[in-house]
Amino acid sequence: MLTKPIEKTRINKPSSIFALLKTASIDENRQSWKWQLDNAITSISYLAEYFGIPESSAILETIKKYPVRTVPYYLALADRNDPSDPIRQQILPHPDETGVYSDFVPDPFKENFSPCSYLVHRYPNRVLCVLTDICAVKCRHCTRKNLLGTSRSRSESEIDAIISYIGNNVRIHEVIVSGGDPLVLETEMLDDFLGRIRKIKHVSVIRIGSRIPVTLPMRIDANLCDVLKKHAPIWFNTHFNHARELTKEAKLACAMLVDSGIPVSNQTVLLKNVNDSFESLAELFDSLVSNRVRPYYLFQCDPVSGTGHFKVELEKGIKLMEQLKSNLGGLSIPNFVADLPNTAGKTRLA
């Protein structure tokens, strides 16, 4: 059952973002993933105070459609005095999110039209399970920013329906556990779900898609690693977009996963004003390899409404890949791909 609430650790949220971050810097709170989630910042007033910006009417209009959320840990990584800071760009809403961009639509991959609620079956041999709508951070470039309208996890009956669908479709060999972010769930709940999937004989591969090593790395603890190891083989895909995200906590989280026999790959999204330079990408990919994380994909930004301002022109992306191939070792070179609507699989771009 995946609906058991996480015990709340928040008492009273401070009136100032700086008071909250001071509390968050206390080691006991900084290292507690539950404290971080309980004290997630969902107020534009807090973010405006932190970054020293006005609460403009355009920003207020944007968050009506695309709310804000970040845990204190990830917010503290942003340089509040630098308007071009790459982490700031992933946290702070932008008025252009409500703009209209050609070919950018709310659900380009038709994930809402699924044979089973909260399960996406785009390809014959694999499915994606949306176990929760909750994330540690609402990334401004999120592929599902128009689809995750609630703040809840799946009910017992919804999970039963997902398990039943997978069990009754023998062509399904691979299950991708996603969200939201599935690792915001209690470890016991993940253990139960993974155990039920493992009992389905025709499922040979389980993948977990999670940004937790980036946004909430203290969530990766010994108990969680033991559970993932128990249900091996588990393949883990995460999502670092900038080398600044590879903190000592993030590096430790990746090391714990790899040391537990769980291969970790990374899927970076090419984002305008975040990582669209050779220097940014080269530093990120080399740093990932140094920490035993495979740079697997560099994605062209998905054509999702609300993300058009992040689009990098394809010609620039191809040029960046040429530079990377000329200057980095083979292990540091990801596949540059796009996930295009109405196509079977990812399309290699360079």
Known catalytic residues are: 122-123, 126, 135, 139, 142, 144, 302, 339, 346
**Rounded CA separation 248/217 (Å):** 9
Instruction: Spell out the long-range contacts of 166-170 with Cβ–Cβ below 8 A and sequence spacing 24 or more.
Output: 166/119, 166/127, 166/197, 166/200, 166/203, 167/200, 169/121, 170/202
CA quadruple 317, 323, 329, 334: dihedral, nearest 10: 0
Please, which residues bridge with residue 130 across strands? Answer: 178
Please, which residues bridge with residue 70 across strands? Answer: 41
| Two tokens, residue 237 | 């895909």
What is the residue type of 140? R
Q: Which of 272, 267, 219 is nearest to 35 (CA)?
A: 219
